[in-house]
Structure 1
Amino acid sequence: MGDSKPTLGVGMVGYSFMGKAHSQAWRTVNAAYDLPYRIEMAAIGGRNEDKVRAAADSLGWRSYETDWRRIVERDDIGLVDVCTPGGNHAELAIAALEAGKHVLCEKPLANTVDEAREMVKAAEAASAKGVKSLVGFNYRRVPAAAYARQLVAAGKLGKIRQIRAVYLQDWLTDPEAPLVWRLQKELAGSGALGDIASHIVDLTQFITGQKVTGVSGLTETFIKERPILLETEGLGGSGSATERGEVTVDDASLFIARLDGGAVATYEATRFATGRKNGLRLEINGEKGSLAFDLERLNELEVYFSDDDPATQGFRRVLVTEADHPYMSAWWPPGHIIGWEHTFTHEARDLVTAIGDGSDPAPSFADGLQVQQVLEAVLASAESGSSWVPVTS
C-alpha cells in the first residue's frame, strides 16, 4: 500500500464481540484490497478505562477514549464505527454524522422506528455534503449470498415464489445464564427478533430484491427471570449472581410475510434451539429454479435449475471460491475457503470504496429503517394477536 494515499482515520466505539470482529476488518482491509485510502486505526472507545486500554493494545488501535464524544470530535478521525448496544446507536451515529464523519453502524440500526427515522434524516442531510453511512448487515458480504443475489437478478430462478429462512442459536437454553444486556429491552430493543431475525429479513430482501409488506407473527419468552451479575460481559457474562431480574425481550420469534414482488415467506429466529450454535439457513424457490444457503457451510451455495437434463437434475453444490465470485479476488486460490470474519473486511472495503468514489453504499440507513419497520410490525402482531399487520413506512 503506497504511502501517497490519503489517510482515513477510524474511530470505533465498543470493544466486545462486534468490536473484535470490526477491528479484524480494519486491520486487514488494506492488505486485502486496493483502496483509495490508507486506513489508520486511530482510536477505540469504551467506558471502562482498564478494559478499553487493554482492547486498544490487543486489537491494534493507536489510542483509546473513555467518552465517545471525544471519538466524534477528534480531527484525526474521519469515520466512526458504532459497535455499541442498540440503545446508543441513534445518539452516537447522529452526532458523528453532524460532525461530518462517515459512519458504519452495527445492526439493527436502532431500538425503535422513531430512532431509526431520526438516523435516516441525519444520514440524508450528511449525504448532501458527501458524508457516507452504512448499516452493518454483514451477511450480505458472504460471497455465496452475494452470488445468490447475482443469480436472482439475472433471472436464473425466474419469478420468486416462496422464501423460508431460519436463524437458530442455543446460547440461552440454560435458565441460569445471566441477564446480559441483550435480554433487556431498554438496551437491546428486542431479543431474537432484533438480534438475529433482522439478519434474515435483510438477507432475504437483498437476495430476492423484494421487500416485506406485511406480517403475522408471534414471540415467546421461555425464561422470564435470570440471575443478575455484578459484572456482565459479552454473551455469556462473568461475575457473581446477586439476585434475579426480569427478561424483557423475546427468546423466539416466528412470522409469515408477504413481499412486494409476490413472494410469500416464513421466518424463524430463536436463541433456544438446543444444539444449534449459529444456524442461519434460507431457501428461495422460483419458477425456474431454487437456491439454498447455510451459514455453517459459508463457502457453498446449493442451486437447482428446472431446465437441467432430467437424468442428472438435482441440487448441486457450488463452491463459491473462484476469483470471479463476489469479493473472492482478494483472497486465496480456488477451493481455499474463507471465514465468517471476512464478511466484516468486505463491509469495510465497500464503505471505504464508496467514500472514495462518491457512490452510495448499501445497505443504507434507510434500508436499516425498513428492516426496523418489519420488526415493529412483527411485535405489533405478536402483542395484539392480530392476524395481519402491514409494514408501514
Structure 2
Amino acid sequence: MFMTAPEIRVRCAPGPFPCSRAPVRAGPRLPVVVLGEKVWGAMTAVTREVFGRMPQEEGGGEVEKFTLRSGSVKVEILSLGCIIAALETRGRDGVFSDVVLGFDTLEGYTRKHPFFGAVVGRVANRIGKGRFTVHGQDYQLFLNNGPNSLHGGARGFDKVLWSPQVLPNGVCFFRLSPDGEEGYPGDLQVWVTYTLNGEELAINYQAQTSKTTPINLTNHAYFNLAGQGSRDIYDHEISIEADSYLPVDSTKIPTGEVAAVQGTGFDLRQPVELGKHLQKFGLDGFDHNFCLQQEQARHLAARARHPPTGRAMEVHTTQPGIQFYTGNNLDGSLKGKGAVVYPKHSAFCLETQNWPDAVNKPHFPNTLLHPGEEYNHTTWLVFSTA
C-alpha cells in the first residue's frame, strides 16, 4: 500500500487527539510494508513482542517490547514506564554496543531500581517537602526522597503500564493519570511518542488536564557510550550549553539562586574530560539542573563523546533545563544486563526538563498546565561517530 498524503496522523486509542502534534512526515508516495508484527517506513523497522507479565500484585498485565531499528541505531522500548531498555549504536570500528543501563528481564524492572530508562512523572525531579499550592488549595505528595517527593512519588509514571500504538517509524504510548493519583490534581491524559529517523531518536511528550496541575516529564536513561557495563564514565567528554545552573541545598532542592557557571566547576560550555574535571574541582559528581534557553524551540542542550570508541551523542530539546547526573548513587548492588554490576559513576543522565521545584518558585519557568492548554515538549538524541 502507498501513503500519498504529505503527513501521517495516528490517533492513540483511547486518547482524544493525535499522538504527535508534530506530524510524522511521510514524503511523496512512501511505501509502507506491513509484515506480520513488523512495520517498515522511512527506513525504520518497528517490531513488537511480549516481554513478560507484571506480577499479580501489580495487576498481572502484559508488558510488550517495541524495537525500533534504523541503519545506525537500534532502540528497545517497554510498555512498562515507556522504558528505554536497550539502545545500540555504532563505534568507530563499526561495532554496535548497547549504551544504556538496564536489565535483561522484566523482573529487574519490577523491583526497586533508580528509574533506568523510564519516563518519570507526573513531575520529574524533586518537589520540596512534597508540597505545593494551586489556586489557594494545598497539596501534599508522598515523600520518597528524604523530605521531598521525587519523580512522581511512590508509584509514578515509570511503574505503570501504558497503552501502545505502533507508528510507521516509532511507537506512541498513552495513559490517563486519574485525578488524585499520587496526590496530584486533575485527570491528566498523557502521550509519549518515540520516533527513530536515521541517527536521531525523538521523544515527544504531550498532555492535557481537567484541573490545573504541575507537570514535568523526562526520560531517565543512564548512558555509558563505552557500552553499558563499562566501569566508569571518566574518559567521556561532556559539554552543556548553559551559562547558569541551580545551586541546591543538602536535600538537592534548588535554593532559588540562579548562579553563573563562569569560573566554577559547573562551567561545561566547552568539552571537559569528566574524570579529570571532577578531580580538578573536587566534585563528587553532578546532580544539578543547568539552565538552557527559555524559548520553546529546538535548541542544543548538551554533547557527550567517548573518544576511545568515537561514539557521540547530542541532546536537543524544547525544555528550559537539563539535569546532569553522574550516577552518584549507583553502588554496585544492582546486577544489570549480562549480570554486570553498575558501580558509582558508571553512567550519566542528561534529563531534559523544567527546573526542579519550579511549582514552589515563581521566578522559575512555569510548570503549571491549565485546562484547555496542551503540554508539548520534544527531546532529540542524535548519535554519531567521530
TM-score scaled to structure 2, two decimals? 0.27
TM-score scaled to structure 1, two decimals? 0.26
Q: Which has the larger radius of gyration?
A: 1
Q: Which has the higher helix share?
A: 1
Q: Which has the higher strand share?
A: 2
